[in-house]
Structure 1
Amino acid sequence: MIKEGLAQGAALMCLLMMAGFALAGPSGLLAWSENQRMLDQRIDQIANLEAERDRLRNRVDLLDPRDADPDLAGELLRSNLNVAHPDEMVMLLD
């Protein structure tokens, strides 16, 4: 009789622990909204990174040595090397 009570008590404790983990564990119901919020953040971050990758890929394509875009090449020369034509006037803005 005492053995049965102990066995039932142990089984009840195991079931209560399992229910507690299902409710408040790292993948339980209470963590569901936090996981969903983090997933939404990661999706936004991926979208931003893909847009940045596409922008950089376009710039690399425009700077292809076989067929470089003259406007972009001129812009990069002027901004990075401080090169200007003799007939150009440079205005510095703060």
Structure 2
Amino acid sequence: MRKTGSGERLKQVVALAALLALAGFAVAGPTGLLAWSENLAALGQREAEVDRLTAERNALRNRVMLLDPEAADPDLASELVREQLGVIHEDELVITLEDE
């Protein structure tokens, strides 16, 4: 059996410490295994927020299309004018009639 010198032993200890530090970061680091579930939960929240914002964007896009100056929806235009002039009340009920 060969005896190792103190320099060789120091290199082994430093290498072992480096490997243990890397293993520690792999498990408990910001992108390690323990953070994985937190990241998945955050991803779920972000996806829900994206879905909500997409629905909001689609609703706004639809409203913009209804306000097209070439073919504005008369009911929406009337609602907006009444709201801007302050002649619409909170308890007012609007009933739309379909064209026959």
| Shorter-normalised TM range | 0.7 to 0.9
Q: What SS class does the counterpart of residue 80 from structure 1 fall into?
A: helix
Counterpart pick for 1:4 among 8, 11, 36: 8
Q: Could you tell me how far apart the structure 2 residues matched to 1:25 and 1:92 are?
A: 54
Gaps of 5+ in 2: 92-100
Extract structure 1 runs of 4+ deviating beyond 3 A.
90-93
Shift of 1:92: 5.6
Counterpart pick for 2:34 among 30, 54, 59: 30
Cα root mean square deviation, aligned: 1.4
Q: Could you tell me how far apart the structure 1 residues matched to 2:90 and 2:6 are?
A: 91
Partner amino acid, structure 1, of 2:44:
D
Gaps of 5+ in 1: 84-89
Length-normalised TM-score, structure 2: 0.81
Length-normalised TM-score, structure 1: 0.86
Q: What SS class does the counterpart of residue 66 from structure 1 fall into?
A: coil
Equivalent residue, structure 1, for 2:95:
none
Indicate the structure with greater helix content: 1
Matched, 1:44 2:48: yes
Q: Could you tell me how far apart the structure 2 residues matched to 1:92 and 1:35 are?
A: 44
